[in-house]
Amino acid sequence: MDYEYSAKSNSIILRQPDFDLDETLDCGQAFRWVKTAENEYSGALLSRPLVIRCLDKADGVFELCGTTEEDFLGVWQEYFDLATDYGELKRRFSEDETLSKACAFAGGIRILKQDAWEALSSFIISQNNNIPRIKGIIGRLCEHYGGYPSIEQLADETPESLGFLRAGFRAKYLTDAVEKLRSGEVSLDRARTLPTDEARAELMKIKGVGPKVADCAMLFGLYRIDAFPKDVWVKRVMAQYYPDGLPECVRGVEGIAQQYLFHYIRSISK
């Protein structure tokens, strides 16, 4: 990894190929990044804020503002999945025609390794909903709590008390998740160590968590890159391009292929 830390400005200069801010931060895998200027986003992991700016698109140069070297190495390096070679993955995917087009279309997508609770709760909110409204609900949640609320912070909430979110029927799913995670009936740490199928079943004990939400929570929150969330868009891709199933080249990294395909089909459908 190629980076320099400036103690004077408390920022990191990072050289990173295969990384586009719009394609990664505004593609519907995380909902709290705000585009604050051209080539600049402001966001957070839990309550740790960050401004990230692209200084040179062609050469892949980024500035991460307001972060110590310790935070960069301990938090953001993992969050932006900097240790994974996406160039190598894209070469692997290039043997499939549709994936090849998808990677060429948005080659700067990366998987964000998010907090497990934030990913799970965000995708509970996402069901039968559109991305602008998901962002609105999560924005009201964070505004109310001064940051993304922990499971414990939500302990006393009821579907009624969460009415300010305007989350509709999803409010009762959030409180069920909080209840089952607090009681230990469901455990994210347990899910972390279980095989993918059993982890999915563990998460699906929560009301409002079906196969798709569970797969998103696993892919973005537990970094199970073999999870392949099938939403309405990916179902369209499957019906149109892969009626006989996914190609061999995505085996084991289905979740990463899913992100390229999701972005591609949404873009060409507009």
Partner DNA sequence: TTCCAGGCGTATC
Partner DNA sequence: GATACGCATGGA
Q: Which residues bind DNA (CB under 7 A)?
A: 27-29, 123, 126-134, 163, 166-169, 204, 206-214, 216, 229, 231-234, 258-259, 262, 266
Residue 219, amino acid: L
The C-alpha atoms of residue 144 and residue 32 are separated, in whole angstroms, by 14
Least distance (Å) between residue 128 CB and DNA? 4
Q: Which is nearer to DNA, 5 or 93 (CB)?
A: 93
Dihedral sign (CA 26, 30, 34, 39): negative
Residues 1-11: b if buried by 16+ CB within 10 A, e if exposed: eebebeeeeeb
Residue spans of alpha helices (H) in the chain: 21-25, 69-71, 77-79, 86-93, 97-105, 116-126, 131-145, 171-183, 188-193, 196-203, 211-216, 232-241, 254-269
Least distance (Å) between residue 260 CB and DNA? 10
Least distance (Å) between residue 210 CB and DNA? 2
Least distance (Å) between residue 71 CB and DNA? 25
3-state secondary structure of 146: coil
Q: Which is nearer to DNA, 72 or 220 (CB)?
A: 220
Least distance (Å) between residue 106 CB and DNA? 12
The C-alpha atoms of residue 140 and residue 67 are separated, in whole angstroms, by 26
Closest alpha carbon to 85 in 234, 215, 253: 253
Q: Which is nearer to DNA, 11 or 24 (CB)?
A: 24
Q: Which is nearer to DNA, 74 or 166 (CB)?
A: 166
Q: Which is nearer to DNA, 72 or 86 (CB)?
A: 86
Least distance (Å) between residue 270 CB and DNA? 10
Q: How far is CA 235 from the centre of its chain?
A: 19
Q: Which is nearer to DNA, 50 or 111 (CB)?
A: 111
Task: Record the tokens describing residue 97, joined without a space.
Answer: 């025609």
Least distance (Å) between residue 26 CB and DNA? 11
Q: Which is nearer to DNA, 12 or 178 (CB)?
A: 178
* 208 to 121, 133, 180, 196, 205: CA distances (angstroms): 10, 18, 12, 19, 9
